[in-house]
Amino acid sequence: MGVRGLQTYLERHCPEACVKVNLSELARQYHRQHGTRPVMVVDGLGCLRKLYNRDLPWVYGGQWREYYEELRQFLQSFRTAGIDLVFIFDGVVEKSKRAEWVKRRQQSARDVVTVFSHIKKHGTQPSDDLFQMPVSLGMLTRFALKSLGAYVLNTTKEADIEIAEYCMKYPCFGILGQDTDFVIFNTVPFYSSNNLDISTLTTVQYSRERLCYRLQIGLEDLPLFSCLMGNDIIKSTELESFKRRQVGVPANARFPRVEDVVMAVSRYMQTIPQGTTIRDIARDVFPNEPDKWLRMEEGARMYLLPGDPLPWYMYMQNCSPHALPPFGAKRNCRQMSGDEEITLEVDVEEVRPRVDTKVLQLARERHLNSDNIAQIYNILISAETDSSVAMEDETSTDIPSSSVLFRPIRQRMYAVLYGNAVKEWCPYRGNTLTHPDVVTAIPLDLPGGTPPLSMLWFSPVGPQAQHLRLQTFFACMDCVSLLECVKPEPHYIILCLVLHYMVKHMLTLQEWEVDAFLAQAVVPFAQDVERLQGLKVPRVAPRPVHLAAVFLKGVSYSLFADCACGWPITVQDGVPWNYFDGKLFNYKYLMAEGGADVRALCDHDERALQLFWTLKECVTVGTRLDQKGRQMCFPH
């Protein structure tokens, strides 16, 4: 999340600390000096906006096939330059960051309201300042990168800390990202992802040394500077009175400019007498707020890496900064949110489900290597999970919130994972996220009951074990009867299961809308990246945008359940670039809404038409849309 105002200050007011560089040239120099191939660590979530570049429409739900090709080209550019990339993704939301996470989800929800207002008024995608990530972009990016041969890791704590530690443990050439915390860490050079030109590999290096020269402070002072500006632990809003005092601006006047605040904070730091401890500084900054003194210590301590010398302000009698209790432990989590305080009405004392040690060990291994969906490990160690805001129109009450619609899938999956309730931080209509929902597990209706996770994960490869995994997965999806009755190709199974679930549980979903989903999946157009790029949609319509978001949430939860069951449907077969393109769906939706028949929806292609009818029977069998009641067969 970074240091408040630092990026703005660097790029607008400290140009000498923004050094234009060519990564190809730096890589060659590194290779000559060290004799090894240079490794660049990429802050995965921090680079998502760069990876899902501005040429890709985002409002439709995701241009997944195009995005996959963009990732391929991104990796190839670095490989051509002789640079190996290591992608490290956040694998957890830490307890102390939950209130900030809630604040961001609430802002995203407000932005989504604005997006739909724009769509209804103009029929176009709004400007990029309202950009919303397609559903599960982070999760799906991990799988895409791995399938393209990249090295991808998940963290078990805050990603910026693990990235900085990784760069200490292994020889690394630099960090690519946009989180200004990497300016504060005493680590390898930090390069801007926002300023990266992938065609030339030119970008900007944020120089911590030149920043310190401008501020007339030492490198060891940067953690303290971060705490006085505002970071993940000490919020900028909590420092407003302090900043006004330093700049000399009264409380009723306009808040000072960022450049004035930065220079005032640096002058304050220069006047701190030697021998002063961070506790003394905290008392001066927050004279009547002792609850913030420990937090300021924690805010500085989080930047200290193993082996770092203690900065002068961290020497305190009987108090090593590495021995302080974790901020947020055994207390309710209270953080500032804008001008108001959010109180999360939940004890953040970590809950540890009873899970077999062998299962937990494998779950951790798969988590770290990004072979599993990150939430799996989090549920197994803390019985807690979360999800992001989707592009759902809150005024469209005939479409249920996706988090509510697909909750039974999650409940059955929780039964598979460890058989008890899970705390969910899932945004949906009317949920203020002031506390998590405690969602109970639903046992599976299978002969012999819910199979244990050890059986699903450790059973030897073979038809019997595969059938058990498939049966369990289909039970999670509330369609175990389909196991013996339909037979699409493997990479269409997730598409069929999600649409089947939506038809069963979403009575307002029309048959012609299902036809649009299926048609966009089967036409040859769907696999042609150049044609997809050139496709012109007459207008952006709000309902298909909403339906696409709900569908993709269903895809995410189905992959979640698939993962919990031991991946009976492989990741390669389950990912949406096999069967969904947001813009093409909007296009086919408008055609179907205008009365186009199935043959026209399938572009009059006989093979596409035949596949369409096969998939439709899979989707509708046993539902209100089942016209024939025919039964077909899934592979098992």
Q: Is 205 helix (H, G, I), strand (E, B) or coil?
A: strand
Q: Looking at the structure, do residues 252 and 373 belong to the same domain, yes or no?
A: no
Asked if residue 102 belongs to a domain, the reply is no
Q: What is the DSSP letter of 318?
A: T
The pLDDT of residue 598 is 98
> How many domains does the chain fold into?
3
Return the C-alpha torsion angle 502, 505, 508, 510, nearest 10. 40
What is the domain range of residue 252?
Answer: 217-346
- What pLDDT is attached to residue 582? 98
Strand segments (E) across 394-523? 422-425, 437-439
619 with 521: CB under 8 angstroms?
no
163, 188, 213 - which closes a domain: 213
Give the residue-averaged pLDDT of 107-127.
97
Strand, helix or coil for residue 22: strand
In a domain, 1, yes or no: no
- The verdict on 165 and 228 lying in the same domain is no
Which uninterrupted H or E stretch holds 415? helix 407-417
For 278-293, write each residue's pLDDT tens digit. 999 999 999 989 989 9
Residue 469 CB partners (closer than 8 Å, separation 6+): 456, 459, 565, 566, 567, 568
Examine the domain organization and report whether 375 and 267 are in the same domain.
Answer: no
Query: Confidence class of residue 352 from pLDDT cuts 50, 70 and 90?
Result: low
pLDDT computed for residue 476 by the predictor? 97
Flag whether 470 is in a domain.
yes
Q: CB under 8 Å to 422, separation ≥6 — which residues? A: 379, 383, 384, 385, 410, 414, 438, 439, 441
**Is residue 149 included in any domain, yes or no?**
yes
Based on the fold, state whether residues 206 and 221 are members of the same structural domain: no
Q: State the chain's mean pLDDT as an integer.
A: 91
3-state SS assignment for residue 337? strand
Q: Are residues 426 and 310 in the same domain?
A: no
**Contact indicator for 535, 603 with CB cutoff of 8 Å:** no
pLDDT in tens, 427-484: 999 999 999 999 999 999 999 999 999 999 998 889 999 999 999 999 999 998 788 7
Tell me the average pLDDT across 47-57. Answer: 94
- pLDDT over threshold 70, residue 37: yes
Same domain, 498 and 548: yes
pLDDT of residue 560: 98
239 & 325 share domain? yes
**pLDDT at residue 594 tops 90:** yes
- Bridge-based pairing of strands 384-386 and 18-22 is unpaired
In this prediction, residues 147-166 reach a mean pLDDT of 95
Residues 302 and 432 in one domain: no
Mean pLDDT of 357-362: 95
Say whether both 517 and 416 belong to one domain: yes
Looking at 346, 372, 389, the residue that finishes a domain is: 346
For residues 62 and 203, state if they share a domain: yes
Min mean pLDDT across 228-232, 405-409, 541-545 is at 228-232
Q: Report the C-alpha gap between 186 and 167 in whole angstroms.
A: 10
Beta carbons of 255 and 240 less than 8 angstroms apart: yes
Per-residue pLDDT, 630: 42
Beta partners for residue 445, in sequence order: none
Contact criterion met (CB below 8 Å) for 54 and 128:
yes
- Domain membership of residue 469 (yes or no) is yes
Q: What is the pTM of this model?
A: 0.90
Whether 350 shows a pLDDT value over 70: the answer reads no
> Got the DSSP string for 167-192?
HHHS--SEEEE--THHHHSSSS-EEE
Does residue 55 sit in the same domain as residue 198? yes
Determine the Cα–Cα distance for residues 555 and 570; give it in Å rounded to an integer: 13
pLDDT for position 1: 65
The yes-or-no verdict on residue 498 having pLDDT over 80 is yes
pLDDT band, residue 628 (cuts 50/70/90): low
- The C-alpha atoms of residue 216 and residue 261 are separated, in whole angstroms, by 15
Does residue 175 belong to any structural domain of this protein?
yes
Inside any domain, residue 161: yes
pLDDT of 579 strictly over 50: yes
Quote the crossing angle between the two packed helices 64-80 and 137-147, to the nearest 10°: 50
Please indicate, yes or no, whether residues 209 and 226 belong to a single structural domain of this protein: no
pLDDT digits (tens, 9 = 90+) for 437-450: 999 999 999 999 99
